[in-house]
Amino acid sequence: MILIVGGGLAAFSLGKMLFEAGIAFKIFKNEIPAASAISSGIINPISGRNFVLSWKYYDFLETAKSFYQLENESYIAPVSIEKHVEDPIAFSNLLLSIDSKKDWIEILESQKVLIKNSYQVAVPFFLEKLEHLFQSMNAIVYENFDYTQVNTTTNQYKDLSFQAIIFAEGISVLNNPFFNHLTFAPNRGEALEVISKNFELKNILHKGKFICPFKNHYWIGSTFDRVDINQPLHTQKAKDDLLAKGKFFFGDTPFEVQNHLAAFRTTTHDRRPFIDAHPTWPNLFIFNGFGTKGVSLIPYFAAELIQNILHQTPISEEVQIRRVKKDKKYHLI
């Protein structure tokens, strides 16, 4: 039996892989909103102001394209992103290097590009389908995980014997006593779910913020605020800023806010997740810190972690927990 702590895409993806491998598991899901549940699901090949290809993008993409399938239904689709490059210097630099980036960028007009080889995952529908499946298997426990009940000597949690416990709990990791030596930073993200009867969106648009399909509506977002976890989840300032962006996207077409979405993400010092066994208790594992890239990274690293637990295959050095940041240098702990 493998126990998984968490209720978002990271936890449910691990559950999906264990289900497909025929391995018994239990997911412990609390009431804290999972950031992935309100994610746009965009898988974007570019990173940063220099439009470089994201870290291991095609490796992650190949895994994601096959992973987001369930019961003969696909939850991933190719999309194109029309991006307005607001910085004219960045656009000029892009023109100078465009020959090396044609696989994922096409120049449309002055300060506007088309980002190719992009995808979008219908994350809310995917999670809903998995949750129904796991409920039917009695594989979800809806309660707060009690860390004090973990016996690392007998490998027991309450009345359950476990082969491993994977902590894929998102922002709740800040309360985890086993991995409190790791440096996670909360990042608040807010977005708007809006409806409009007469608006047609051909491509995802990006000008400072994105507008894209979400459930059967539209999603405008998101914000990236590094704030203390005790700060309010929803803010009027973010809502006002997103409304202003919505008015830009929709123009004269009426739209209505359906939901003001918000959640805390977990981020790390070097924008790489922490995926590894505990240095003292090798049956306890961390699977966290995906930030805004979780939709693309999670399937790849979920497979890697499951293989490590079941067959002792290695975990990529870039995500092991032996790294810490100090004076912009990495050291082993």
* Mean pLDDT for the stretch of residues 124-146: 97
Rounded to whole angstroms, the Cα distance separating 296 from 320 reads: 18
Rounded to whole angstroms, the Cα distance separating 197 from 286 reads: 44
Looking at residue 269, its pLDDT comes to 86
DSSP β-ladder status, 284-288 and 274-277: antiparallel
Confidence of residue 150 (pLDDT cuts 50, 70, 90): very high
Closest to 272 (Cα-Cα) out of 254, 283, 287, 258: 287
pTM of the model: 0.93
* Mean pLDDT for the stretch of residues 201-214: 95
pLDDT tens digit sequence for 1-42: 999 999 999 999 999 999 999 999 999 999 998 999 999 999
For residues 296 and 61, the answer to whether their CB atoms sit within 8 Å is yes
The residue whose two tokens read 């298997």 is: 137
Q: Which residue has better confidence, 330 or 3? A: 3
> 333 pLDDT exceeds 80?
no
Rounded to whole angstroms, the Cα distance separating 172 from 237 reads: 25
Confidence of residue 49 (pLDDT cuts 50, 70, 90): confident
For residues 27 and 141, the answer to whether their CB atoms sit within 8 Å is yes
* Mean pLDDT for the stretch of residues 296-319: 97
Give percent of the chain above pLDDT 70.
97
Rounded to whole angstroms, the Cα distance separating 52 from 83 reads: 15
* Mean pLDDT for the stretch of residues 296-315: 97
> 215 pLDDT exceeds 50?
yes
Q: What is the mean pLDDT of the chain?
A: 93
Q: Which residue segments constitute the domains of the chain, with CATH numbers given?
A: 2-41+122-183+270-332 (3.50.50.60), 184-268 (3.30.9.10)
For residues 1 and 162, the answer to whether their CB atoms sit within 8 Å is yes
Rounded to whole angstroms, the Cα distance separating 11 from 5 reads: 7
Rounded to whole angstroms, the Cα distance separating 227 from 221 reads: 17
Give percent of the chain above pLDDT 90.
90
Rounded to whole angstroms, the Cα distance separating 264 from 29 reads: 16
